[in-house]
């Protein structure tokens, strides 16, 4: 029987710190060893190790993603790992730690766990042109890792797109992430991993130094409540493939333009609904920026990044140009969607079909692909797609603007329910994209219904954690405050953590509440000029028509959600509450 002392610590200290401690304690007991675990969390140190316990220990385990002071363990063999490995590979990590008994701590023990020969690394390399340094950096990192006996997988983001794309399994199993890039690289998929970022030139010139520095100075991407929501969204997005994934990519890049443009248009209404018609005024300037620039860029950006998602960089140029043609042909956001898919698939086919000698490969991304893909996309948009799609958009706009009260309520029910079904997923985004697209045709009622319905799920949950505390765990009650802020900001995803724990009761409750909010908004004739902003938009004069009725719709939906949650959810058992409190 061995005596072990351990320290667990993660950036937030809410979940992984305690989960790792419990896993180590239970597994060590099963193996017949004594263990004492100190937990370092955002609330301080719990179950602190006494000097006598450290002195009597045979080995020290440190399962941490943050710095832990090791001065008090100077005379002991120390095994370092991460909380994630301690949770998922508990027995193996304990065995590796016990193997150090009688040995001095050495540099052969990696800070990320186990012998350095066992490190698994994933990397991304990217330079602005993506022709030479991207691949030189990848080769250098592979050679440096192989010299250490490490496993490494490198994704290159070059001018013709990503190659050797990292799989979910490779990312999940990685101990270390290295991003060597001179361009923006999305790091959302590496949440919870130890990440080190440097330039592509540093990797080319000194890959060995980069790897050593990554082990010593890499930082874990932390996960607060908001970051947990982002991680869940990223995980869901990673599972989406095909046309829907491409559409959402375009929408995600389009949204900042829509939000900025919509808010600027709303601000121009502060001076009066028709004030922008007077040349030289501030209202006219705000309208020129929001409506004349931002909204005109909306459709080209949507089309461009749909194509980018399909064909990577070769799709961007024909997509942007196809989107601008959709605007000029009055085909609107529907034409932009068509242009994006057309440009993306044409560019991808040309990229894969055209083979050139290596010495001429540099001409492909900067000359051949942009020219041919733009030519094909443009001709199809002008001669085939433009006029029919413009006619469809005009007919749909006319129908929506002529809706009677009964039909408007039905549409509000449908859009409202869609906003809550998957809280930021495919159905939610379909409703939101529909409403946003209609803003370009001066149809504002669906936008009001969508935002009201999108606010109520997290608001209803937040209120329920306050009025029915016995139906939620302490962790959920603490998260209720953050959910309220997310709801007020029109971030429906704030409801995801609650729905993930109790989908059978939470999801029906929020769907009904959102449907009520959407139906009331449409039925009362509310209109919203801004596409985002939540409660903060309500302070802008004239941004919302029938402001009091609109606020009432949000409140009504929130109360309905809360009432259903109170009725459907059962009180949390005393045993579960005690378990959480002791965790």
Q: What is the pLDDT of residues 57-81, one digit of tens each?
A: 889 998 887 767 777 887 788 888 8
Work out the number of other CB atoms within 10 angstroms of the CB of residue 249: 21
- Is-contact 369 362, C-beta < 8 A? no
* pLDDT reported for residue 158: 66
* pLDDT reported for residue 231: 54
Q: What is the pLDDT of residues 218-264, one digit of tens each?
A: 887 655 445 555 555 555 554 445 677 788 778 778 878 877 887 78
- Between CA 486 and CA 454 the distance in angstroms is 10
- Told to judge if 127 belongs to the known catalytic residues of this protein, a careful annotator would answer yes
Alpha helix segments (H runs only) across 218-281: 225-238, 243-268
Partners of 89 in the beta sheet?
Answer: none
* pLDDT reported for residue 63: 87
* pLDDT reported for residue 322: 93
* pLDDT reported for residue 555: 94
Catalytic residue among 63, 124, 127, 462, which?
127
Half-sphere exposure of 417 (CA within 13 A, CB side): 7
The SS3 call for residue 121 is strand
Ranges of the chain with pLDDT below 50 = 103-117, 224-225, 238-240, 575-583
- Between CA 241 and CA 384 the distance in angstroms is 28
* pLDDT reported for residue 325: 93
- Between CA 461 and CA 49 the distance in angstroms is 39
- Is-contact 190 171, C-beta < 8 A? yes
Kindly report the backbone phi and psi dihedral angles of residue 38, in degrees, each rounded to the nearest multiple of 5, phi listed first. Answer: -95, 135
* pLDDT reported for residue 225: 47
């Amino acid at each position: 029987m061995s005596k072990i002392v351990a320290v667990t610590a993660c950036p937030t200290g809410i979940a992984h710190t305690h989960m790792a401690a419990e896993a180590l304690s239970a597994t060590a007991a099963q193996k017949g060893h004594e263990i004492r675990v100190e937990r370092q969390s955002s609330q301080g140190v719990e179950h602190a190790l006494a000097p006598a316990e450290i002195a009597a220990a045979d080995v020290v385990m440190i399962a941490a993603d943050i710095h832990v002071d090791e001065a008090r363990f100077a005379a002991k063999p120390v095994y370092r790992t991460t909380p994630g490995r301690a949770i998922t590979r508990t027995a193996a990590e304990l065995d590796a730690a016990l193997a150090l008994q009688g040995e001095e701590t050495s540099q052969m023990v990696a800070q990320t766990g186990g012998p350095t020969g066992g490190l698994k690394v994933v990397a991304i390399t990217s330079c602005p042109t993506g022709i030479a340094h991207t691949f030189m950096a990848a080769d250098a990192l592979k050679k440096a890792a192989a010299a250490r006996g490490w496993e490494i997988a490198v994704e290159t983001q070059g001018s013709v797109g990503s190659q050797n794309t990292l799989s979910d399994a490779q990312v999940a199993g990685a101990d270390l992430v290295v991003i060597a890039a001179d361009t923006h690289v999305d790091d959302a998929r590496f949440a919870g991993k130890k990440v080190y970022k440097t330039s592509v030139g540093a990797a080319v010139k000194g890959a060995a130094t980069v790897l050593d520095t990554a082990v010593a100075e890499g930082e874990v991407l932390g996960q607060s409540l908001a970051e947990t929501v982002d991680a869940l969204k990223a995980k869901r997005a990673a599972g989406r493939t095909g046309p829907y994934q491409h559409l959402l990519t375009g929408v995600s890049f389009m949204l900042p333009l829509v939000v900025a443009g919509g808010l600027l248009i709303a601000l121009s209404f502060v001076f009066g609904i028709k004030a922008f018609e007077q040349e030289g005024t501030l209202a006219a300037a705000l309208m020129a920026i929001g409506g004349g620039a931002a909204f005109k860029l909306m459709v080209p950006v949507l089309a461009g990044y749909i194509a980018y998602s399909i064909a990577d960089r070769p799709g961007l140029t024909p997509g942007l140009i196809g989107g601008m043609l959709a605007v000029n042909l009055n085909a609107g956001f529907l034409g932009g969607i068509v242009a994006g898919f057309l440009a993306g698939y044409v560019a991808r086919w040309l990229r894969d079909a055209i083979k050139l000698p290596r010495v001429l490969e540099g001409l492909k991304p900067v000359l051949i692909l942009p020219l041919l893909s733009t030519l094909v996309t443009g001709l199809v948009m002008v001669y085939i797609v433009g006029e029919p799609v413009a006619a469809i958009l005009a007919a749909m706009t006319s129908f929506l603007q002529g809706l009677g009260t009964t039909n408007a309520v039905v549409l509000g029910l449908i859009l409202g329910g869609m906003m809550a079904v998957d809280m930021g997923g495919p159905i939610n985004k379909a409703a939101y994209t529909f409403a946003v697209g209609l803003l370009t045709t001066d149809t504002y009622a669906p936008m009001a219904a969508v935002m009201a319905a999108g606010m109520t799920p997290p608001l209803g949950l937040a209120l329920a954690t306050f009025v029915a505390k016995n139906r939620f765990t302490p962790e959920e009650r603490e998260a209720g405050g953050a959910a309220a802020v997310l709801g007020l900001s029109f971030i429906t995803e704030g409801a995801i953590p609650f729905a993930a724990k109790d989908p059978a009761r939470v999801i029906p409750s929020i769907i009904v509440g959102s449907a009520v909010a959407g139906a009331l908004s449409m039925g009362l004739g509310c209109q919203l000029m801004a596409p985002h902003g939540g409660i903060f938009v309500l302070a802008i004069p004239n941004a919302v028509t029938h402001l009091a009725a609109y606020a009432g719709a949000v409140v009504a939906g929130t109360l309905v959600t809360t009432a259903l949650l109170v009725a459907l959810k059962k009180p949390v058992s005393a045993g579960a509450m005690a378990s959480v409190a002791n965790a």
